[in-house]
Amino acid sequence: MNDVKDLLNTNYIDEFVSIAGTEPFNSAIELFNQGMDEYLNGCRKCFGSCEFEDAAKELHKLKGAASSIGLARVMKEAKVAELKLLEERDAFDLENEICVLKLMAESDLIALKTYLVNK
């Protein structure tokens, strides 16, 4: 079982909530959910057209979005995937990576919401 500190950037979350409150943080989580699908679909599309740099940019955006709401594990995974895609290009197993990222995000978002509720 992963410790919550492995999944979330709790220092950042605590700081944000103490300054801005939980409402903007919840709105940010909603935006992340919408954005994640867009980034992954965009990545898939670019990958299909062999535009690997653009596909990597979508993963980069996902990484930034994850860090903005303190999803540390998703952020690291997206960062690794971005670098691997640029290295392996058409040999990169994108679909598998998308599955991993989606599952990870789903699970870590539950952990995040639980963390916020317990604060």
Partner 1 sequence: MNYFERVQKQIRYIIFQRSVSMITISTGIWVTLLVSALYWVLLLYLDDGFYLIDLCMPLGVGFLFTTVATLLLSKFFGKLEEERRLFSQLRENELQLKSSLAKTYIEIINQRDEKKKLSQDHARLRGSFSNEKQQRQATQAALDEQRIFNNAVIGLTPDVILFRDVEGKVLGANENLLKLLNANDNNEVAQQLELGGVTAEAFTRGDAEVKEKLTDLTYEVHIDNLVFQMRKRPAVNAANRLVGIICYGHDITELKHEQALIEQSSQAKSNFISTLSHELRTPLNGIVGLSEILLGTGHFKADDLRNLKAINVNAVTLGNIFNDVIDLNKFERRTFAVAKENVPWPDFLESLETLARLMAEQKFLTMDYSVEGQGFDYVVTDATRLRQMLWNLITNAVKFTVKGGIGIHVKQQIVASELEVSIAVSDSGIGIDKSEQQKIFDLYYQVKGTKQATGTGIGLHVTKELCLALGGRLELQSELGKGSVFTLFFKFKKGESEKHLETKNKESLNIMLVEDVDLNILVASSMLKGLGHKVVPAKTGAEAIQTFKEGSFDLVLLDMQLPDMTGLMVADELRKIKKIPMIALTANALHEYGEYIKHDVLDVITKPLSVKKLEEVLTRYNIRNLV
d(CA 108, CA 112): 6
Q: CB of 108 within 8 A of CB of 73?
A: yes
The residue among 35 and 111 lying less far from partner 1, judged by its C-beta, is 35
Q: Does position 115 bind partner 1 by CB under 8 A?
A: no
Contacting partner 1 (CB under 8 A), which of 5, 6, 15, 93? 15
Contacting partner 1 (CB under 8 A), which of 2, 5, 6, 27? 27
What single string gives the DSSP state of each residue in 12-81? HHHHHHHHH-HHHHHHHHHHHHHHHHHHHHHHHHHHHTT-HHHHHHHHHHHHHHHHHTTBHHHHHHHHHH
The residue among 4 and 35 lying less far from partner 1, judged by its C-beta, is 35
- Residue 23 in tokens: 């409402």
Q: Does position 42 bind partner 1 by CB under 8 A?
A: no
Stretch that binds partner 1, among 24-32, 47-55, 85-93, 106-114 (CB under 8 A): 24-32
The residues that touch partner 1, with contacts defined as CB under 8 A, are: 9, 12, 15-16, 19-21, 24-25, 27-28, 31-32, 35, 57, 60-61, 63-65, 67-70
